[in-house]
Amino acid sequence: MVPPADNSPDAAPTRAAGPDEAPDIWPLTAKDMDGELHVGSVPMTALAQACGTPLYVVDEADFRERARQWRESGADRVHYASKAFLCPEMVRWVGEERLHLDVCSVGELELAVAAGFDPAHIVLHGNNKLPAELSAAVAHGVGVVVVDCAEEIDRLAGYAADAGRVQDVYLRIAPGVAADTHDYMATGSDDVKFGFPVNGGFAERAVLTVSGIPSLRLTGIHSHLGSQILDPSGIRRAASRVAAFVRMLAERHSVRIHELDLGGGAGIAYVPGQQRLAPAEFVAALRAGVAEELDPASVRLAVEPGRSLIGTAGVTLYEVGVVKQGLERRFVSIDGGMSDALRPALYQASYTAWTANRRLTGRPVHSLVVGRHCESGDIVVPDIALPDDLAVGDLLAVPATGAYHHVMASNYNFQPRPAVVAVRDGQARLLVRRETPADLLLRDGAGAAIDLSGDLR
């Protein structure tokens, strides 16, 4: 497990670094222009003035370059893990970049289909998929459903039989390999909620069950080690375990598997000094692990990057509202917080920040960038050295927020969620509009009586 962040006064503060000093944590087009941050050739001060803050900014060119790198990584097929960030325009980018799409809810599925994405190129994930999700997958003609438990096998088989369809499935297995990541992001060990453990024979029995059902076709085995993985050695071990399982199926049961989906999880840099795990290195580790047990030419390899595609493309803009000197640290309070940046509270994730509106020249001061919510844990950037001339009204940019920020945003303290804007070649386009208090009031039930014989779902 990655240890919790040290938020004590004695913790060494993270270095504040802009795109010139730490390009790996910023979008590819980010530039410091005389102290003003530009992304996609758009000045962030003008964007914040036009759209307000907090504001999620996405560098379209960055995403498309990462997509190219993954297409050329050596994988046979690349699925974009939409849980990292999804909206209709994002679905169109994924299609234009010739990627497949990984969804894990009926909401993500319906959004993708409504945006015109080919259902045959969609993979449905998730543990405890709802009956409505399995039914929708069959009805839309989803290419692959990753089955995660015995109940899903039975339900999906029934829906497919009723539709007169043979549904392609992958069986998700837990290979028994621990990831070097936060416990909440590790998914490949034996004792997790995802998939069928190989140890104990659970996965083997599930394969035989699926193979005997006429309305299901077992086309592949799926496994996912975890997220934000920077060391490829664990990936290689997991791939070898999966390949050994596939070899056993052929030798013991004459069940031939020709597709392996080995998930995503390639990590990115969040703070200065970190390195991302390159797509080609990630895939090379997978192929090396597979080759320990199988002829590499006998299987096709799919991968599911999410964070690695969109994470570094994102920057969140905030306005400083309060600068308060504490006994030992300075608290820089911004107009957002854990409602739009949950990962620091959820995973003790580390970030840095940089002023986007002007060049600061003061001496570094040990600071915390904190949110405006009623929680002591509402910290967006813990322990950072920010110049002492940072002032109320300054614009702070937090990089590497493209993944798991917008999608995890909440209305805590009845806070409307921020807008999402794409930038490219000097132009800005609205992807998701900002919520308003009026939007939040639309869900008010006004205390209306409920007919218990009806259905409000």
CATH number at residue 325: 2.40.37.10
Residue set of the binding site for pyridoxal 5'-phosphate: 265, 304-307, 404
Are residues 317 and 372 part of one domain?
Answer: yes
Range list of β-strands (E), 137-247: 144-147, 167-174, 196-197, 216-222
> What residue numbers does the annotated binding site for substrate cover?
307, 343, 347, 375, 404
pLDDT at 178: 59
pLDDT of residue 14: 79
Active site residue 149: no
Question: Considering the domain boundaries, does residue 453 fall inside one?
Answer: no
Intervals of the chain under pLDDT 70: 1-12, 178-191, 456-457
Give the end of a domain, one of 283, 310, 337: 310
Q: Which residue positions form the known binding site?
A: 265, 304-307, 343, 347, 375, 404
Residues 47 and 67 in one domain: no
Residue 448: inside a domain = no
Q: Are residues 245 and 332 in the same domain?
A: no
DSSP string, 259-291: EEE----B----STT-----HHHHHHHHHHHHH
Distance CA 400, CA 161 (A): 45
Domain identity same for 237 and 318:
no
* HEC readout, 110-145: HHHHHCCCCHHHEEECCCCCCHHHHHHHHHHCCCEE
Q: Do 205 and 306 sit in the same domain of this protein? A: yes
Looking at residue 61, its pLDDT comes to 98
Q: How far apart are CA 423 and CA 397, in angstroms?
A: 15
Q: Is the bond into 3 cis (omega within 30 degrees of 0)?
A: no
CB 409 within 8 A of CB 362: no
**CATH number of the structural domain spanning residue 145:** 3.20.20.10
pLDDT at 10: 46
Predicted TM-score of the model (pTM): 0.92
**Domain contains 2:** no
Which pLDDT value is given to residue 191? 64
Catalytic residue among 51, 87, 104, 374: 374
Q: Tell whether 38 and 65 lie within a shared domain.
A: no
- Write down the pLDDT at residue 427: 98
What single letter denotes the amino acid at residue 397?
Answer: A
Q: Tell me if 421 sits within 8 A of 51, measured CB to CB.
A: yes
The pLDDT assigned to 276 comes to: 95
pLDDT at 293: 96
Q: Which residue has the tokens 């910290």?
A: 379
